[in-house]
Amino acid sequence: MNNSNFIIGLMTGTSVDGVDAALVNICGYGKGSKIKLIHSKTFDFPDEIKNEIFLAMDIEKSNVELICSLNYKLGQLFANCVQKLCHEASVKVSDLTAIGSHGQTIYHIPNPLASNMSSTLQLGEPAIIAYETNTTVISNFRAMDMAAGGVGAPLVPYTDYILYGNNQFGRTLQNIGGIGNVTVLPKNCELEDVFAFDTGPGNMIIDSLCNKLLNESFDKDGKYGSKGKVQKHIVDTWMKMDYFMKTPPKATGRELFGEHFVEQELKKYPGISSEDWIATATYFTAKSIAHAYLNYVFPNVEIDEIIIGGGGSYNPTLIQMLKNLLPNYTIKTQEDIGFSSSSKEAIAFAILANETLHRKPSNVPKATGAKQHVVLGQFTYPPFADYEL
């Protein structure tokens, strides 16, 4: 394998706000790798596909025919995104070493009940991507961690360690996508010192309320949340949910904080204005993050700065609420330290793909609960060319 690899990472989160794509040049692997972002972009989902994703996620409305077709539609969409990103970056698709595709999570069962088994399902058929780009695709990253007894999430802690670890001070990397998750990097840490977990809802409840109450996809610039009055009695009730009492490692998703949750709460508390609902959901996200830090991070690790990434970092109302809840800590965004909040997770899956190409483990057992370090992802090789790793 060449020492330098062009790899594209593709990420679509639980917010379903688009396909994040990042073209990255990577030399080496592990802590000594050199990583350079060449180009990144977020591609919007066509309305038809976005609607189908939400239908596929809904237990009551989903069906196998929908999921079967959507898997291939998303594969085609991801392949198109790769081709467009390469064109914009003036890089030939044939120059790519690999594509790391996370896929669109449809359902995630980290803690099964009754007859269910721990499992996860991401759509975006890798064979379609490999066929259309004639490039090796690495996908299905979560499955091996779950096979090893983990909850399959979060997976970005390894890449956070590669990019931000081994500093002279303690850091947390807080992602606020559909779900919130934190990676904790103690001062001068080794990989064994890193731990991570899902803090709770990110933008998921806010986005759903915006859609249902205002016919908007999200609260741009936090404008609605800033005008509303937080219903703290509702937040206090939500904070008593079992999830927040569980100790890490732990993971959650749309199965707990998705459409069903929002519809249930709207019925339970009638007469609340749209702006008050969005302010309340925004505060809930901030409160759940602060709760996670106060109970599971600060008692164990000295933290000098909190770095926010993901779509939530662009919501000033949310960021200010978090600062108010954690007044004694320095809170920054990815942009404050010279990186991009929107492309962080796409870059992460390019890095994870590179580790898999080198047959290196890249899960963090203290983050996922897995029994051991394992190599993540599955290969789909290009159909038209001999290829050597």
Q: Is the peptide bond before 382 cis (omega within 30 degrees of 0)?
A: no
Binding residues for ATP: 13-20
Count of CB atoms situated within 10 Å of the CB of 7: 27
- pTM score, two decimals? 0.87
Rounded CA-CA distance 162/169 in Å is 15
Handedness of CA 236, 237, 243, 245 (dihedral sign): positive
Rounded CA-CA distance 347/340 in Å is 10
Rounded CA-CA distance 251/243 in Å is 9
pLDDT by residue, tens only, the chain of 389 residues? 457 899 999 999 877 889 999 999 999 999 889 999 999 999 999 999 999 999 999 888 999 999 999 999 999 999 999 999 999 999 999 999 999 999 999 998 988 888 999 999 999 999 999 999 999 999 999 999 999 999 998 899 999 999 888 678 899 999 999 999 999 999 999 999 999 999 999 999 999 999 999 999 999 999 999 999 999 999 999 999 999 999 998 988 888 999 899 999 999 999 999 999 999 999 999 999 999 999 999 999 999 999 999 889 999 999 999 999 999 999 999 888 877 888 889 999 999 999 999 999 999 999 999 999 999 999 999 998 665 55
Binding residues: 13-20
Instruction: Name the superfamily (CATH) of residues 4-152+343-380.
Output: ATPase, nucleotide binding domain (3.30.420.40)
pLDDT value of residue 165:
80
CB 311 within 8 A of CB 177: yes
Span(s) in the chain for CATH 3.30.420.40 = 4-152+343-380, 157-337
pLDDT value of residue 24:
97
pLDDT value of residue 35:
94
Q: Is the peptide bond before 157 cis (omega within 30 degrees of 0)?
A: no
Instruction: Name the superfamily (CATH) of residues 157-337.
Output: ATPase, nucleotide binding domain (3.30.420.40)
pLDDT value of residue 255:
84
CA distances (Å), origin 293, targets 205, 240, 249, 297, 325: 21, 16, 14, 5, 11
